[in-house]
Amino acid sequence: MLCLAGVITVANLRILASPMVLAGYALLGALTAATVLVEWSRMPKSALLIIPLGDILAIALTTFSSGTVAFSLLYTLPVIWLATHFRLLGVVLSVILPTVFPIARVGISRIDSGTMITQVVVIPVGLGLVAVTVYLSRRRVDAQRTLLRRQAEASRQAEAQGRRHEDYLDATLEAVGFGIVTFDLEGRPGLINTVYRKMRLHVDGRADGPEFCEVYAADGFTLLPEAERPARRAADGDLRETVVWVGPPGGVRLALAVSARRTYDLAGRADGVVMISRDVTSERLAVRARDDLVAMVSHELRTPLTAIIGYLDLALDSDIEDTTRSMLSVAATSAQRIIALTNDFRAAALGIDNAADLERRRTAVGEIIEPAVAAFAPVAESREVSVRLDCAPRIAAYVDKFRLRQVIDNILSNAIKYCRRGGGVCIRVGQDERETVITITNGSDGLTDAELARIFDRFYRTDKARRSDVDGSGLGLAISRDIVSRHGGRIAATSVLNQSVTLTVTLPHPAEDVS
């Protein structure tokens, strides 16, 4: 500002003869020196008013003493300072001070010349417009700065939250007990978690990618080509679940249950695939050991049973009393049934389909169920359970008589064993032109929905059944389901808790009267 005042003075050197002008210059010089020498950062903000107010006073002295209106232009600088740093107070001071100084010097009565009107009215109004403009501009700048600060803070928080989520995800992926591999849309592998790397390291001795060296089908012996391996299928977008063995037979190997899921971006577009591999080696080995045991026991039972049947046949061919022959016939029939059951145990363990063994004929259903009821009569009597059969003689079905008897035996045996003491079992047979329906209901504690969902699983027994003294293998209903299914029918279980359990066998067959 001192330099600008000097430029104005050069144009009119005679004003230097005025002591007030010199005083104004001296004040400007002192203020300029103060701005350089004083450490304003240690002073309160109000101390900064000294500089712009001193500048306005110095400009007023030079303007009034020299009579040069050009000096009034210098008011702009302190006005900008005041409006910038002191907001509304600065705007008010920017208008009042340049007005007050000339009035205080000459008095209101002498404000009549054009020069005085300019100094008292025009210049303060112009300075007020400048101050307001600067004030509004500063407000906008402050608002933008505040907005930018908030946006920056929000960005930092979002980034921090993103890092936390990423850390949580990484921790979760490393903490889960199954292997995880991600693929992009091009089939390139991305993330591979530690569990999957350990699986590869355990089997192959290295963990340099998602694919195992040797992958076999669920049977453990059929080597899968590369295109059918889970990692390749997952990378190609095939999301079917499968069980495979990794590692060579006889070597270090694992059974893995592999599934895949698509991942999507924020717009809902597919952007990759996640492959999950769960180690089911222990489960598979346990199932295999169980099936091997059942198959072995079934096989070992066949030899003595065959010998028993052979000797019974020899005895029946000899000359014996009718009573003895009747008892030996029952024993031979029972032995034949035991052999058939051992074959079923072996088939259930090995997964053999005996559909071709069915010998279906048009048979009266009552002729199958009545002997079963008679056979279980002693057991029912010992448990004080009544058995009631409701079956019309004319109802017939196109079935394998021996296999359907096996189904009835299995269901009726369970119905009696698990019936309340003193309760009852009801067998009803109905038929229309399309199917024959057999229902067997007992009075019992019933089954939960979870138990009903598994009642036809092989080797499944409810917790209550396992804790009871009732014997069972958990195979009867599973075998019955398979037999009914091979007949083209269906079997279902329903229950009313604490009241009853009902097994329903439905066999497709046209209605026919049996004469």
> Helix 322-350 vs helix 401-417: angle between axes, to the nearest 10 degrees?
90
* More reliable by pLDDT, 345 or 304: 304
Q: If you average pLDDT over each of 2-11, 262-271, 387-396, 470-479, which comes out highest?
A: 387-396
**pLDDT at residue number 354:** 47
The answer to the question of residue 167 being in a domain is no
Is the pLDDT score of 505 beyond 90?
A: yes
Sign of CA dihedral 29, 30, 31, 32: positive
Give residue 44's identity as a one-letter amino acid code.
Answer: P
**Mean pLDDT estimate for the chain:** 81
Is the pLDDT score of 389 beyond 50?
A: yes
268-291 burial: b if 16+ Cβ within 10 Å, else e: eeeebbbbbbbbbeeebeeeeeeb
Is the pLDDT score of 476 beyond 60?
A: yes
pLDDT in tens, 20-64: 767 777 877 787 787 778 777 787 877 777 888 877 777 777 766
Give the residue-averaged pLDDT of 494-508. Answer: 92
**Residue 341 and residue 259 share a domain:** no
Structure tokens at 170: 């990484």
Nearest residue to 199 (alpha-carbon basis) of 257, 146, 117: 257
**pLDDT at residue number 239:** 66
| In 107-245, alpha helices (H) | 114-117, 123-175, 194-204, 230-235
Predicted TM-score (pTM) of this structure: 0.44
Domain of residue 316, residue span: 286-350
Give the residue-averaged pLDDT of 459-485. Answer: 78
The answer to the question of residue 514 being in a domain is no
- Considering 279, 305, 334, which residue would you say is the last residue of a domain? 279
Give the three-state DSSP class for 60: helix
Residue 183's H or E segment, with its range, is strand 179-183
pLDDT category at 513 given cuts 50, 70, 90 is: very low
Is the pLDDT score of 106 beyond 60?
A: no
The answer to the question of residue 100 being in a domain is yes
**Residue 456 and residue 381 share a domain:** yes
Is the pLDDT score of 118 beyond 70?
A: no
- Considering 120, 145, 170, which residue would you say is the last residue of a domain? 145
Q: How many domains does the chain have?
A: 4
**Residue 275 and residue 296 share a domain:** no
**Residue 221 and residue 267 share a domain:** yes
pLDDT in tens, 189-237: 888 888 999 999 999 988 888 888 899 988 888 898 888 888 888 877 7
**Residue 240 and residue 293 share a domain:** no
pLDDT in tens, 311-370: 888 888 888 888 888 888 888 878 877 877 777 676 666 554 444 467 888 889 999 999
**pLDDT at residue number 104:** 61
**Residue 78 and residue 38 share a domain:** yes
At residue 223, what are phi and psi to the nearest 5 degrees?
-70, 125
The answer to the question of residue 110 being in a domain is yes
pLDDT category at 66 given cuts 50, 70, 90 is: low
